């Protein structure tokens, strides 16, 4: 990764920031994006303190125009793009029956359309460098999760899009990896949207028992450099994908009962 240019969307915290350190420590030049300039500045300061070359660009991934501008700014700064990591994402937590449908639209705009916009704008440059695309998806992209209908829908869409794109690009030299972490200790749950569109503000799960963002980032880099097509993390994640294929009726009840135990779960 020495001197490779890596764009990471949604990189001011969590898995995104951990990926910036992971690839930056391999010698890559890092471009981090996000909506909150203050958080980006803080992340960039941490990266520079670790002697990682970094450029920050304020960009709302749900905006096609801002995403196009971000790609062009990267080209103006570095002249190339070697890897695009689509990490920007948001979750939601609400029963579908009572959710404001704008919440599902917002989740889809960031998680799915954000990936589409970035890939479309960056692809000509990635073909020039025979670079790569990584999509940070989720186990929820293989197995629908109750109380997270919009999140699951966005990740299912992301998985299908990346699989189709990977196949289109078979003879171009551009590699596509779909990475699906299980539950990871990050701020995605406290920053998730509830039914009325407001922020949850706190996690509903035991964060200390989860895989760390740094462990996830390390596994993703290794999978990308090994040119894997998909990466499903954690034993629980692998088991869930397997059981959903062969015993999905039984898994419906298992998933329901497991998520019913979450703090303040609306499931009864």
Q: Are the beta carbons of 39 and 89 closer than 8 angstroms? A: no
The strand pairing partners of 185, in sequence order, are 212
| C-beta atoms surrounding 144 within 10 Å | 17
Largest CA distance in the chain: 55
Closest CA to 33 of 77, 93, 1, 95: 77
Report the alpha-carbon distance of residue 256 to residue 26 in Å, rounded.
Answer: 41
Q: Are the beta carbons of 176 and 131 closer than 8 angstroms? A: no
Report the alpha-carbon distance of residue 174 to residue 128 in Å, rounded.
Answer: 9
The strand pairing partners of 134, in sequence order, are 85, 177
In the 8-state DSSP scheme, what is residue 66? H
Asked about 151 being catalytic, the answer comes back as: yes
Q: Are the beta carbons of 88 and 16 closer than 8 angstroms? A: yes
Instruction: Check 78, 117, 125, 151 and give the catalytic one.
Output: 151
| CA distances (Å), origin 103, targets 99, 106, 120, 150, 182 | 7, 5, 25, 8, 23
The residues annotated as belonging to the active site are: 151
């Amino acid at each position: 990764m020495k001197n490779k240019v890596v764009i990471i969307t949604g990189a001011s915290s969590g898995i995104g920031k951990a990926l910036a350190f992971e690839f930056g420590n391999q010698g890559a030049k890092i471009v981090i994006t996000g909506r909150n300039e203050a958080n980006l500045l803080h992340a960039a300061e941490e990266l520079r303190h670790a002697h990682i070359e970094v450029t920050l660009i304020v960009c709302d991934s749900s905006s096609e125009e801002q995403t196009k501008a971000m790609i062009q700014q990267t080209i103006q700064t570095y002249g190339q793009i070697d890897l695009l990591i689509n990490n920007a994402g948001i979750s939601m937590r609400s029963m579908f029956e009572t959710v404001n449908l704008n919440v599902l639209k917002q989740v889809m705009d960031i998680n799915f359309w954000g990936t589409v916009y970035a890939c479309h704008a960056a692809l000509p440059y990635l073909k020039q460098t025979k670079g790569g695309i990584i999509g940070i998806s989720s186990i929820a992209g293989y197995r629908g999760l109750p109380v997270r209908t919009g999140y699951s829908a966005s990740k299912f869409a992301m998985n299908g899009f990346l699989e189709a794109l990977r196949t289109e690009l078979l003879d171009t030299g551009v590699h596509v990896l779909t990475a699906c972490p299980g539950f990871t200790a990050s701020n995605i749950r406290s920053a998730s949207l509830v039914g009325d569109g407001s922020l949850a503000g706190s996690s509903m799960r035991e964060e200390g028992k989860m895989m760390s963002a740094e462990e996830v980032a390390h596994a993703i880099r290794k999978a990308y450099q090994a040119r894997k097509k998909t990466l499903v993390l954690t034993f629980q994640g692998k088991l869930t994908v397997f059981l959903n294929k062969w015993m999905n009726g039984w898994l419906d009840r298992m998933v329901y009962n497991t998520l019913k135990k979450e703090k303040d779960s609306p499931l009864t």
